[in-house]
Chains A and B, each alone.
Chain A
Amino acid sequence: MSGDILLCDLDAFFASVEQLDHPEYRGKPVLVGGRPGERGVVATCSYEARKHGVRSAMPMVQAVKLCPDAVFLPVNMDRYRQVSAQVFAVYERFAAQIEKVSIDEAYLAVPSGVGVETARKIREAVRQELDLPVSVGISTNKLLAKMACELAKPDGLYRVAKEDMPKIIWPLPVSKIHGIGPQTKEKLNRIGVKTIGQLAKLPEGELIKMFGVAAGVLLHQRANGNDTREIQVEREIKSIGEEITFPKDVYDKDAVLITLMDLSGQVGYRLRHKGLKARTVTVKIRFGDFSTITRSQSLHDAVEGDGTIYRVVRELFIANCGQPPWRLVGVQVSNLDSYEQLSLFQERDEQVSRVVDKLKDKYGMGVIKRGSLLLSEERKKKQ
């Protein structure tokens, strides 16, 4: 692994989302977790609450004592997942290799040397588009990126180069190394090893005697800033799809086609953001009686433009739509090509779609729409 590694961690994620959704909570201590009266624990607390000594995983009862004026909120996981997906969509624009660690934490691999610049762009994009704070640690491996991220918090970025180890990392307590729990820490403290620097200087053999071969070698490596773990990209994407169940069964074929145009655009947007092209387009149709069909078409050339996808979708729907009413329709693309074949004369539809993507990225998804979509929305409003 020769590139830069970023660890992006959303600050006090659940609390930040609540403060985003409820501006009146901003600037106040916010505790998300189990109810104060019950046996719950703190899932996340805002930085305002941390000032009072509240920590994640602390029993709520104790948190209430420390910070009685805080806003106490239940965990709204659906909402956090939704926001998390939006954040990851931003990450995907900046890095091809992403390892999702948790709902609010991810490692990103980027080419060597562009780590800091990418981190700045990501922080800016997440702040501008989603109004959320994200801290980014930058280094050349996962271990150092994670430590850099600790130093970046809250709402900052920090880069640790291997050479900076003695100055920045070595004075830190051993417990800052990911994987050193209370027991290991206790054992090390007992022999007088408190800081990472002291641990780094300990002979490997000593550590092996204390912790066994595997753990000993690892501790030695970690304390010296070595980490060869690679980014574990989630399983390869096999398909991208969007579907919608109509609020009421639809009898109007044109209305369905407009919905399919919208779905094609959403699928196209995601496809292009992943830098992929598709060679198969599938349409899913569920009728009023719940019977469901899917029909696919494979294409000679891989496609990525909204218009091209919709053209195939439209043909498939018209050929297979049967009798109304329709209850659900979906668009899916598969057989994905994971590279970009450069072209001498780019297709207009692709050019247009890419410009539209840029506008959406910058100003939000609603900033530009196809004329027929706008017309149908106008009509709905009048009704």
Chain B
Amino acid sequence: MRVVAAKEQLLNAVQIVQRAVSVRNPLPILSGIRFEAVENKIFLTATDLDMGIRCSFAAEVIEPGAAVLPAKYVSELVRRLPDVPVLLSAEPINGSVTIQYGQSETSINGYPAEEFPDFPIPSGDLTFDLPVEVLKGIVKQVVFAAANNENRPVFNGVLFELHDGSLQVIATDTYRLAWRRLPLENCEKIDINIIIPGKTLIELVKIIEPEKIVNITVTENQILFRADDTCLISRLIDGQFPNYKQVIPQTHLTKVRLKTKELAEATERASLLTKDGSPIVKMSLEQNTLIVSVNTEVGRVHEEIPVFQEGEPFEVAFNARYLGDVLKAMGSEEIIMELTGPLSPGVLRPVDDQEYLSLLLPVRLRGV
């Protein structure tokens, strides 16, 4: 392989695919990035076997071929290269690659390119488009609620349910649940029900440039996201997502309307005095006032927030961190909070958006 590439493009591609490199992978070659020069393009690929990213850009290929270099060294080096054309020459015998820039060169020892796992791009008929901004919205409003727990993989994922041209996206770590519904054009005939790893979506929105349209292809156990010269392939999570519809309360005893920022700030201040092992804030509602309080060895906080109240007074306790996350994701100046009891899920939703909500499970306090 001999190829000349622009430094900026090379750096951009390295930084994108690097997100799929797993540092602690038992397979040493997976700590590497595969470079392949074909015709007039260079393809960079990295994978941790759950997720793979491929990125390509135009380059002057003198001699086609492939090489695998450790991601850590190649990314640090490329970042520090002068802004000049860079010549990459692979030594097929020992797998090392010489990187020449100006009058200088650095040689990095690589891995045998043929040992890098195959990276077939899945294809199929189940395909639809989503603007990257929509995906970003989903990550902000839904993915935060996903778990990060090896024991129950389905909760590490985000459920994508596309039916009758309407996409529902749900994530839950069982302590909170976020739900978003959005209409999709030209998808009336597509019917899918898949669980995408939360991590995949988080990485995806980081590597796609703003305002791009992402083409999504779903196969039996994989999903492909493609935008221009970048594609991301991820394994889907196998398993049955629990029946989320069943747990969303349909009725409530109390409904309050309040300013998101006021509750978020009160919660933040209150949680300053909580202990690591017990980040609990109490909330009680009486006569159009929501009281947020914390009482610990450190001290006590008492915050009063004016609200519009409909229904009975209540008392409930929440994990301050989860409550903060939910409020941050609301994306609305005012929200509605509905409660049915101190041990039932609270429902939070933006005042003027029927297509989004979060459930938050309370905390049962020990003792009296």
Contact = CB atoms under 8 A, between A and B. Distances in A.
Nearest to A236: B277
Interface stretch (A34-42, A147-155, A335-343): A335-343
A290 interface: no
Nearest to B243: A345
B368 A337 contact: no
A3 B368 contact: yes
Contact of A339 (B151, B343, B364): B364
A88 to B, nearest CB: 16
Interface string B316-327: 010100000000
A335 B277 contact: yes
A194 B269 CA distance: 56
A342 B345 CA distance: 9
A97 B368 contact: yes
A335 B276 CA distance: 9
B368 A344 contact: no
A111 interface: yes
Contact of A347 (B148, B151, B177, B317): B151
Contacts of A340: 363-364, 366
Contact of B277 (A96, A311, A336): A336
Contact of B366 (A2, A338, A344): A338
A343 B175 contact: yes
Contact of A342 (B152, B278, B343, B368): B343
Interface in B133-175: 147-149, 151-152, 155, 172-175
Given A311-B151, A339-B278, A340-B363, A345 B172 contact: yes
B319 to A, nearest CB: 6
Interface in A1-45: 2-3
A349 B152 CA distance: 11
A109 interface: yes
B337 to A, nearest CB: 17
Contacts of A345: 155, 172, 174, 242, 247
Interface string B59-77: 0000000000000000000
Given A275-B366, A338-B277, A339-B366, A344 B149 contact: no
Interface in A331-368: 335-347, 349
Nearest to B149: A301
Interface residues of A, number: 29
Q: Which of B363, B365, B368 has the most CB of A within 10 A?
A: B368
Given A300-B149, A346-B174, A339 B368 contact: no
Contacts of A279: 277
Interface string B173-212: 1110100000000000000000000000000000000000
Q: Which of A112, A335, A337, A341 has the most CB of B within 10 A?
A: A341
B336 interface: no
Contacts of B148: 300
A266 interface: no
B195 to A, nearest CB: 14
A344 B361 contact: yes
B362 interface: yes
Given A96-B368, A336-B277, A344 B359 contact: yes
B118 to A, nearest CB: 31
A343 B319 CA distance: 12
A379 to B, nearest CB: 30
A377 B362 CA distance: 43
B147 A301 contact: yes
B365 A109 contact: no
B97 to A, nearest CB: 35
A339 B149 CA distance: 20
A184 interface: no
A223 interface: no
A260 interface: no
Contacts of A343: 174-175, 361
Contacts of A95: 367
Contacts of B343: 342
Nearest to A96: B367
Interface in B306-340: 317, 319
16 contacts: A2-B368, A109-B368, A301-B149, A301-B173, A308-B151, A337-B277, A339-B365, A341-B175, A341-B319, A341-B363, A343-B361, A344-B172, A344-B359, A345-B242, A346-B174, A347-B151
Interface of B: 147-149, 151-152, 155, 172-175, 177, 242, 247, 277-278, 280, 317, 319, 343, 345, 359, 361-368
Given A3-B368, A340-B363, A341-B363, 20 more contacts: A96-B368, A97-B367, A109-B367, A110-B368, A111-B368, A279-B277, A300-B147, A300-B148, A300-B149, A301-B149, A336-B277, A339-B280, A339-B317, A339-B366, A342-B343, A343-B175, A343-B361, A345-B242, A345-B247, A346-B174
Interface of A: 2-3, 95-97, 109-112, 275, 279, 300-301, 308, 311, 335-347, 349
